[in-house]
Structure 1
Amino acid sequence: TIHSWVFDTGLDLAVASGFTSAFVVQQAYADIRYKWLGLRLGSWEEMPTPLNHSLSSGGMSWSGNARPIPQIRAGFPDYITLFPFFKLKCETSYGWFTDNNFQKKTVGETDYKYVKNAKYHHKSLYIRIGKPQWRLSFEGGYTLDEQFGGYQMIGKEQVWDLGNTMKDYVVAFIPQSGGDDGPANETYFKGNYTGNEHFKFSYQLKNSTISAYMENYYEDFSGMGKLNGMDGLWGIEYATNQKQIINAVVLEYLQTTNQSSPLVIMVPSDVSKKDIVTDNYYNNWIYVSWQHWGMALGNPLLRSPIYNQNGYLGFPYNRVKAVHVGWSGDITDKWTYRMKLTYNQTFGTVTEPTLDILDNYSTFAEVTYMPQMTNGWIFTASTAFDTGYLYGDNWGIQLKINKKF
């Protein structure tokens, strides 16, 4: 720190087996801040919404489930006080998807589409209302993420140039139509949009906090207007600042079955025909899906495309109902733990439902050792397994060593 300047860097490398890459640069970034302004460059794991990301099932439009997207981000990364009871933070960024080769290899010789050299744009605005002496507080905001630009491909053939000039970066910041020379699905807005509306109320007790929250996912105005029924992530959270065997608990219900549908409309060119108008969460006709390196950028309970066996990079199982619980605690001063349990049911998509309900059970357990004599070294071991019809029976372990300087 030099006066009001703050500089920070991070590097996170991983070696994996049975993954998309044997060697992964998970994080590599530089963070520069001056007073309340921030500029960050590189790839980093981010959790933009005010969830308990160590225990939650994951945010609706961004969960940290996929590999980070390298980007340049600027704004107010931390809350700034405008009034004694009112705080605000906002950021915007541009980035670049890095999974061209993965998509090309996955699609292979099939007729499925993918987009190479796609770009990324992000906007977020959050507010916090409350004072330290108030027991009740509110936190809420909006995020808007977009895939834009790149080239739509079918096999080795380029089908569309989706816009790769500086003008397209401006259009991404201020959404506009794609014009008459682009794909038909970009007539209204150019690019693939996903977003969150987040609302959280917290009640402060003596040494703990109880919160209730909801994340509403949207891809268009029907979702923003909550025409998608009970769809969203609904949760309650308990957290304490005391060291005890259970210091935090999260209970969540996830639903994505409505998708603002079904709305049946007449086809103008032939009144004897009808179309079903619906959202199709995480799927897009042009950009295929909201994924990076095969993993869902949003909530991972919507099964990621990496599990598809036919070269399709979309989400064939995006209608889900799920119950999730996570809790953590302190075993001793040096040992902590974390547990998560999830049960979910999947119904396919609105237009292609499954014949039977596919259910799945998932479990995660983790222990962390933080010895004082090692001066910043942290050792973590975790295990997870799935059982059910959606993923099959799977089991895995992870060993992690961190060093904080």
Structure 2
Amino acid sequence: MKKNLLILLLITPVLTYSQNLLRNNSYQAGLSTYLTTGNQLPFWLQSNQYGEVPFEGNVIQGMVSVHHEYDSTYSVDQRLNKMAMGYGLRAVGNVGRIIDLRLTEAYLKGRTGPFEFFAGRRREIIGLVDTTLSSGSYIWSGNALPLPKVQLSIPNYTPILKNKLLSLKGTYAHGWFGSTDSVQNYYLHQKTFYARLGKPQWQIKFYAGFNHQVQWGGKPAVPFYDAKTDQIISSFPSDFATYINVVSGVSLNKNLDAGEIKDGVPFNEAFNRAGNHLGTIDIALDFKTHLGTFMLYRQSIYEDGSLFYLNNISDGLLGLSFKSSRLRVDLEYLDTRSQGGNTGSGNVIPQLRGFDNYFNNSLYEDGYTYLRRTLGTPFLMPFHQLSSNAESSTINPNFLYFNRVKAIHTSLSYWLPNLQAHAKYSFIESPGRYGSEQVLKNHSASICLLYKTGSMHYQLSVATDVGDFWKSRRGVQLSVVKKLSF
């Protein structure tokens, strides 16, 4: 009898919580069509869509999703609840020039106090930026399908002082890239750390922090001979000691003995660091007025050490946004043309190191992409996105060919009770690659109208590209989404 009572006491909370996970869910089902005059959809119809919208147009898309958010972050007496769980599933299928079915979100998350753990694919944007109107955060913009990963985080700014003057948030994650034509079964290491100075009710608050991404491990699809270290490379180091080097970012050449020890480490890593390291250092200022809230932000780029010596300090993303109850405006300027100069990252004079070649890497030949899409800003595009002949070219289709650009982007949203209007315009100019200068210019624009009535959402988007990248192309999106809650 006592044993049965004990079992009942143990399983009752589990059954109760399981029932709660099946309640208060949000469901969506949608149908869309994407039409274009060219071989590919215009830039702003398929960018920053988490990999759901294909490059190729003239498709019909179906979508279904279910999400269970945390029942409540705070209790009735405004105390933080101890535990909560949630999950999300989202499936998208395309039929037309391309036929595919993707599970674009599939995650389980749990929260205890200020900490959160999640596993699976989940939509995220990383970096200090206006997440709703930005052209895309430089390092993690929502342009590609989310990588599967496990992550421990403090997702919200959490005070560490009693007066709430200083608050922190951050993440620590391990992800899986899978395999490409060049590298098989390689990983992502990712961490972020951000601090906010200023109490929540203050009119002015200052933010600063950084993010760190590393592509590491795995093995080349075809073993190769590394002439500088005189050894055959059939796999890239992935033991625990390498993981510590990945996390810390320590140089493997601190003793100036790169390549002297034949340990299976290719010269590109032995001379530098384990894996492909990249990220941004961010600062932002939030200022509230009687008109609305202004946000000024700056993301500075680092890859091969140029930022430490300020060689590429002119590169980065600069933005100013404004939001009020009905109006939101964002203006951004992205510059990636310096890359520390054209003298090469291996220069013995640190102050002359350059040619960072953003998002590209000689070992991870598909660069900072996932399933053919750039993980960072969509303005740095793979070769196949710029050329219809990419697949037959000797250039890797995923190689970030024009990664030296300047871009001016402006975005505006206006809300009425049932209608939202959203307009974007971007000017992109590339001087070409170092040693192969070729100036290209392009204009991309879009207008979107979203009408909501009850549980029904209707959307019409029109977009166009004019210039050297894609000559001229136009496209349209029509969508209808049904939202339900149970």
State the match for 2:183 in structure 1. Answer: 115
Cα distance change on mapping 1:154 and 1:131 into 2, 3 Å: same
- Secondary structure of the 2:421 match is strand
Q: CA deviation at 1:266?
A: 10
1:184 to 2:263 alignment: no
Question: 1:160, 1:182 within 8 Å by CA — same for their partners in 2?
Answer: no
1:344 to 2:428 alignment: yes
User: Which of 196, 199, 204 is matched with 1:136 structurally?
Assistant: 204
Cα distance change on mapping 1:57 and 1:196 into 2, 3 Å: same
Q: Deviations over 1:6-30 (max 9, x none)?
A: 2111112212357876212111111
Name the CA distance, whole Å, in 2 between partners of 1:172 and 1:400.
45
Name the CA distance, whole Å, in 1 between partners of 2:97 and 2:146.
15
In the comparison of the two structures, how many residue pairs are matched? 377
Name the CA distance, whole Å, in 1 between partners of 2:196 and 2:151.
21
Worse-matched range after superposition: 125-134 or 170-179: 170-179
User: Which of 196, 212, 218 is matched with 2:296 structurally?
Assistant: 212
1:391 to 2:470 alignment: yes
Name the CA distance, whole Å, in 2 between partners of 1:96 and 1:265.
27
In the alignment, residue 24 of structure 1 is paired with which amino acid?
Answer: R
User: Which of 201, 222, 225 is matched with 2:306 structurally?
Assistant: 222
Name the CA distance, whole Å, in 2 between partners of 1:265 and 1:124.
25
Name the CA distance, whole Å, in 2 between partners of 1:266 and 1:115.
24
Name the CA distance, whole Å, in 1 between partners of 2:245 and 2:458.
46
Name the CA distance, whole Å, in 2 between partners of 1:162 and 1:155.
10
- Secondary structure of the 1:370 match is strand
1:175 to 2:260 alignment: no
State the match for 2:329 in structure 1. Answer: 249
Q: CA deviation at 1:344?
A: 0.7
Name the CA distance, whole Å, in 2 between partners of 1:155 and 1:348.
32
State the match for 1:320 in structure 2. Answer: 405
Q: Deviations over 1:70-93 (max 9, x none)?
A: 000002111111122111001110
Name the CA distance, whole Å, in 2 between partners of 1:32 and 1:267.
47
User: Which of 265, 273, 283 is matched with 2:360 structurally?
Assistant: 283
Name the CA distance, whole Å, in 2 between partners of 1:167 and 1:141.
27
User: Which of 101, 106, 118 is matched with 1:40 structurally?
Assistant: 118
Q: Deviations over 1:112-145 (max 9, x none)?
A: xx21212111010001111244322111210000
Alignment of 1:2-401 (within 5 A): 3-17=81-95, 22-83=100-161, 84-98=164-178, 100=179, 103-104=180-181, 114-154=182-222, 160-176=234-250, 180=261, 181-187=264-270, 188-240=272-324, 242-243=325-326, 247-263=327-343, 277-288=354-365, 289-307=367-385, 308=387, 309=390, 310=393, 311-312=395-396, 313-330=398-415, 332-354=416-438, 357-372=439-454, 374=455, 377-398=456-477, 399=479, 401=481
Name the CA distance, whole Å, in 1 between partners of 2:375 and 2:241.
26
Name the CA distance, whole Å, in 1 between partners of 2:383 and 2:223.
17
Cα distance change on mapping 1:32 and 1:207 into 2, 3 Å: farther
Cα distance change on mapping 1:276 and 1:124 into 2, 3 Å: closer
Judging by fraction of residues, say which structure has more strand.
1
Higher-Rg structure is: 2
Name the CA distance, whole Å, in 2 between partners of 1:24 and 1:173.
31
Unaligned runs of 5+ in 2: 1-70, 73-80, 226-231, 253-257
Unaligned runs of 5+ in 1: 105-113, 269-274
State the match for 1:110 in structure 2. Answer: none
- Secondary structure of the 2:381 match is coil
TM-score, length of structure 2 as denominator length: 0.72
Worse-matched range after superposition: 219-228 or 47-56: 219-228
- Secondary structure of the 1:353 match is strand
Name the CA distance, whole Å, in 2 between partners of 1:16 and 1:76.
36
Question: 2:128, 2:299 within 8 Å by CA — same for their partners in 1?
Answer: no
Cα distance change on mapping 1:75 and 1:265 into 2, 3 Å: closer
Calculate percent identity across the aligned residue pairs. 26
The structure, 1 or 2, with the larger RCO (C-alpha pairs under 8 Å, 6+ apart) is 2
Name the CA distance, whole Å, in 2 between partners of 1:265 and 1:45.
33
TM-score, length of structure 1 as denominator length: 0.85
Cα distance change on mapping 1:266 and 1:26 into 2, 3 Å: closer
- Secondary structure of the 1:221 match is coil
Name the CA distance, whole Å, in 2 between partners of 1:90 and 1:57.
23
Q: Deviations over 1:228-282 (max 9, x none)?
A: 1421111111111x23xxx1100111111111113379999xxxxxx98521111
Q: CA deviation at 1:306?
A: 3.4
Name the CA distance, whole Å, in 2 between partners of 1:198 and 1:267.
27
Question: 2:143, 2:375 within 8 Å by CA — same for their partners in 1?
Answer: yes
Name the CA distance, whole Å, in 2 between partners of 1:346 and 1:256.
9
The alignment's C-alpha RMSD in Å is: 2.7
Q: CA deviation at 1:366?
A: 1.8
- Secondary structure of the 2:400 match is coil
Q: CA deviation at 1:160?
A: 3.3
Cα distance change on mapping 1:129 and 1:63 into 2, 3 Å: same
Question: 2:92, 2:102 within 8 Å by CA — same for their partners in 1?
Answer: yes
- Secondary structure of the 1:55 match is coil
Q: Deviations over 1:142-167 (max 9, x none)?
A: 00001001112359999530134455
